[in-house]
Amino acid sequence: MRLLKTMTLTAALALAALPALAQKLPLSDISTYLNAMKTAQGDFTQINDDGSISTGTIYIKRPGKVRFEYNAPESGLVVAANNTVVIADKKSNQPAETYPLNRTPLSIILANNVNLGQARMVTGHNFDGTATTVTAQDPDHPEYGSIQMKFTGSPVELRQWIINDGNGSQTTVVLGDLETGGNLSNALFDTNKVGRRSDR
């Protein structure tokens, strides 16, 4: 899965350019931040498992909804809603691929109630002088993979995540400035339209 694929020097430099923080962010503060994020949209850069780079726009509507629109020359579209992830190449005649959202680590930040203090969910919680990194997984299904999230503070902001899927692949998504609190139409997350020419 292209969405679910290593942090490269590009991603590291993006974080290094951010102002340093005084201390590691508590898990409770990060959980509060994620739960308060009802909608968000912004640019992203994706570093794929093979080292290639894609860009596009991300739309998040919590709980449970996310949309990745890839810029040309890519023609990919990834939409998650109703506990389903649909991945399509809009230029292809092949049918879209579908996966259960709860089998991907991305479900952790799209959950109705994010609780990083839950037993066995967080497997890493570190601070590198610039960002707080939290590694989390579904405690009941660690075989589904993990998500490594990087946050800066003052105020708390999600800057990047690395998804390690159950097949050993990694995908890094570096986020630009997210615009939060806006109104996003549910039509953006209509998985039934993914792959059709009529979809945006």
Q: Which domains, from first to last, does the chain contain?
A: 9-181 (2.50.20.10)
Q: Phi/psi of residue 71, each to 5°?
A: -80, 155
Select from 99, 87, 6 the least CA-distant residue to 53. 6
Token pair 């997210």 is found at 178
Stated pTM of the model: 0.83
Q: What is the pLDDT of residue 154?
A: 86
- The pLDDT tens digits along the chain (200 residues) read 444 433 333 444 444 444 443 589 999 999 999 999 999 999 999 999 999 999 999 999 999 999 999 999 888 899 999 999 999 987 777 888 999 999 999 999 999 999 999 989 999 999 999 999 999 999 999 999 999 999 999 899 999 999 998 888 999 999 999 999 999 999 999 998 886 443 44
- C-alpha span between 81 and 106 (Å, rounded): 12
By three-state DSSP, how is residue 136 classified?
strand
Q: What is the pLDDT of residue 15?
A: 47
Enumerate residues 6+ apart whose C-beta is below 8 A from 190: 79, 81, 199
Distance in angstroms between the alpha carbons of the first and the last residue of the chain: 22
Report whether 45 contacts 12 (CB < 8 A): no
Beta-carbon neighbour count of residue 171 at 10 Å?
22
Q: What is the pLDDT of residue 53?
A: 95
